[in-house]
Amino acid sequence: MGFFKDMIAVFQKKELKFLEYRKEADDVYSFMFEKPNDLSWNAGQYGLFTITHKSIKNNTRPLSIASAPEENVIRITTRISDSPSDYKKALLELKQGMTIKMGGPIGKFSLDDSSPSLLIAGGIGITPFRSILKQVAGGGNSARPIHLLYMDRHLFKDELDAMAEQGVLTVTYVSSRDALEQEIDQFAAQHKTSGNYYVAGPKSLVDSISSYMNKHNVPKQRVKKDAFFGY
């Protein structure tokens, strides 16, 4: 059922009007688009975003929707290096009022509010979690407790820290793989098999963290993954 729903959403592309972009870090930008009235998504889902204002090869990328539906804006946040792809160059050329297309929303990377949750983000993998946490902060989901482990970068740090102060989550910024594994072990020991685990980020990182958890008796069915290929 979910697969067919996703497929229909992919083909019903929506036109999104560009509003503005914001620099989040030296090489990370958020792009905001007007939210059409007839478009909604589950926090944590992604869209297929297509460049239409110029002709480029490979004009579509899957990108997480980094905003919660309640924010009333579609936000994508992406890494743009010194030698960007044609796709990323085209994103940077957007001017207010220009449009792109979005297929979707797609995916099942959403929070199950019945259990303690450990969110594990690697770098740019914070994007689906920003959406999920903003939704929880807005009262849209009662899941508790939520602990976020954030490795490699500190994107959205001010927002994450503010939500932590509100009691939405606890957050640990980890700087090494060892520290990350220790935190995972601690959560697993505390919540035994009742916890849920969510991992998002570059595919290689998601695969290796999942395999670590697998070897350390975290039940596979308790782990949800959002693997970003292309990094």
Ligand X SMILES: Cc1cc2nc3c(=O)[nH]c(=O)nc-3n(C[C@H](O)[C@H](O)[C@H](O)COP(=O)(O)OP(=O)(O)OC[C@H]3O[C@@H](n4cnc5c(N)ncnc54)[C@H](O)[C@@H]3O)c2cc1C
What are the residues binding ligand X (CB under 6 A)?
A: 46, 61-64, 77-79, 85, 87-88, 124, 127, 226, 228-231
Of the pair 43, 188, the CB lying nearest ligand X is at 43
Of the pair 41, 187, the CB lying nearest ligand X is at 41
* Distances 210 to 197, 199, 227 between C-alpha atoms, Å: 9, 8, 11
Of the pair 85, 99, the CB lying nearest ligand X is at 85
Beta carbon of residue 142, minimum distance to ligand X (angstroms, whole number): 26
Beta carbon of residue 176, minimum distance to ligand X (angstroms, whole number): 23
Of the pair 77, 196, the CB lying nearest ligand X is at 77
Whole-angstrom Cα distance, residue 154 to residue 173?
A: 8
Beta carbon of residue 9, minimum distance to ligand X (angstroms, whole number): 14
Whole-angstrom Cα distance, residue 64 to residue 129?
A: 9
Q: Are 155 and 126 in contact (CB under 8 A)?
A: yes
- Sheet arrangement for strand 146-151: 170-174, 146-151, 117-122, 196-202, 223-228
Beta carbon of residue 205, minimum distance to ligand X (angstroms, whole number): 13
* Distances 32 to 26, 165, 170 between C-alpha atoms, Å: 18, 26, 27
Whole-angstrom Cα distance, residue 113 to residue 144?
A: 7
- Which residue number is nearest to ligand X in terms of Cβ? 230
Of the pair 29, 145, the CB lying nearest ligand X is at 29
Of the pair 187, 198, the CB lying nearest ligand X is at 198
> H-type helices in the chain, by residue range?
2-11, 86-92, 127-137, 157-166, 177-191, 203-215
Whole-angstrom Cα distance, residue 59 to residue 49?
A: 8
Beta carbon of residue 186, minimum distance to ligand X (angstroms, whole number): 28
Beta carbon of residue 182, minimum distance to ligand X (angstroms, whole number): 27
